[in-house]
Chain A
Amino acid sequence: MPRIVVDVMPKPEILDPQGKAIAGALPRLGLTGFAGVRQGKRFELEVAGEVTPELLEQARSAATTLLSNPVIEDVTRVEVIQEDAE
C-alpha cells in the first residue's frame, strides 16, 4: 500500500524549544558532536489504491491547511513512497 509522506519543520526563524531541550540532553549521553537539533513532524497518509495526481494534490492541500501552520512551520516534503521503500 503506497503512502504519501509529509514532513513539517518549524520555520528556521522560530525558536524550537523542544529541539533545544534535545540538544541539551545529547551531551549527557556522551554525544557531543552536534551543534543543534530541530524537531519536526512526519505524517504518513495511507492510500488504498494508486496515487493519482489529484490525490497528491489533496495531500499537498492537507499539508498546508491542516498538517502545518504556515505562521510557524514549513512543509519540507510531500512525497510518495511505495511499500518496503525507504
Chain B
Amino acid sequence: MSVETPLIGDFQPFPSASTEGSLAGVRVGVVTFPGTLDDRDAMRAVRLAGGTAISLWHGDHDLRGVDAVIIPGGFSYGDYLRAGAISRFAPLMEQITAAATGGSGALPVLGICNGFQVLTEAHLLPGSMIKNNSLHFLCRDQRLRVENADTLWTSDYAAGEEIVVPLKNQDGQFVADEHTLDELEGEGRVVFRYVGENPNGSRRDIAGISNAAGNVVGLMPHPEHAVEPGFGPDSSARGEVDLRGGTDGLGIFTSVLKKLVG
C-alpha cells in the first residue's frame, strides 16, 4: 500500500530531518486493521518527525523489517465484543507480540487509543479500558503530564513536562486492580497522566502506561493529531499558539526516531 505525501498543503518535514538526515533511515510501521481511522495521521506524524513510515496490514505475517511499530486509533472490527478484543488475534499481532517481548532490543511499540486497547487485550500492557464514566463520547483538547521521560517514546520531553493533545474516545476509562496500579506507580510505568479534571474516570488519572521493559507504551489521547501547525489543537502547554497551532505531540515521534538512530 502506498501513501502519498502531502495530504494537504505543503509538506514540511520537521527541521531535524534536514540536519539529522539519518532519522529518515528509521522505519516505523503503522498497522491498519479493518476499522482503523488514524493510520494515515500516524504515518504523517512519523514523516513530520523525520522518519520513514511503513504501512503494515493486520492480516500479514511480515513486519517488513521495521524498527518500531505504532498501533493507531480507530474502531478496529467496529469495537465488537470489546475494543481491541478481535484485533488482538490478527496474524500481525502474533509477530508484534513476539518481537515486543524479545528481551533487550525488543521492538518499540506505541498504542494510541484503540491501539492502547489492543495492547491491553494482547496482554502486552496491564489493565483494561471500560466505557467513560460519563458514558459520552469525548472529543476535546486534553492537557497531560509526561510522568516518565525515560521511555523510548517520551525521551524528547522532560519529566513533569505538560503537553496538550486531542482526546477522543468512548471506552477511555483505564481500570486495573489496586495491586497492578501500585506496581505501575512504584515502577514508574505511569507514562502520562491527565491534568485538571479527570475526563473519563481513569484510575489515578492514568492516561498512558508502559510495560516493565519500557519498550511498549500505550496512551488514550492522540499525539499524532498535534504534530503540524494549522492542524493541531488550539492550545499548547508551551504557551499561546495560533489557531490549531498546537504541536505538543510531535515529541513522541521524534523521541523514538532519535533513540533508534542512536
Question: A: which residues have CB within 8 A of B?
Answer: 10, 13-18, 21, 66-67, 69, 71-72
Known contacts A13-B177, A15-B201, A17-B173; is-contact A69 B133 (Cβ 8 Å): no
CB neighbours (8 Å) of B126 from chain A are: 71
Interface of B is mostly: loop
CB neighbours (8 Å) of B131 from chain A are: 17-18
Q: Is the CB of A17 within 8 A of B128?
A: no
Q: Looking at the assembled complex, report how far the CB atom of A58 sits from the nearest CB atom of chain B, in whole angstroms.
A: 15
CB neighbours (8 Å) of B135 from chain A are: 17-18, 21
Known contacts A15-B201, A17-B132, A18-B131; is-contact A69 B175 (Cβ 8 Å): no
Question: B: which residues have CB within 8 A of A?
Answer: 81-82, 85-86, 89, 120-121, 126-128, 130-135, 173, 175-177, 201
CB neighbours (8 Å) of A71 from chain B are: 120, 126-128, 175-176
| Cα A18 to Cα B170 with chains together (Å) | 12
Across the interface, name the chain B residue whose C-beta is closest to A16: B130
| Cα A20 to Cα B73 with chains together (Å) | 27
Which of A16, A18, A69 has the most chain B CB atoms closer than 10 A to its own CB? A69
Across the interface, name the chain A residue whose C-beta is closest to B200: A17
Q: Is the CB of B133 within 8 A of A17?
A: yes
Q: Looking at the assembled complex, report how far the CB atom of B50 sits from the nearest CB atom of chain A, in whole angstroms.
A: 37
Q: Is the CB of B133 within 8 A of A14?
A: no
CB neighbours (8 Å) of B121 from chain A are: 69
* 7 smallest beta-carbon distances between A and B, as pairs: A71-B128, A17-B131, A72-B128, A17-B135, A17-B133, A21-B135, A69-B128
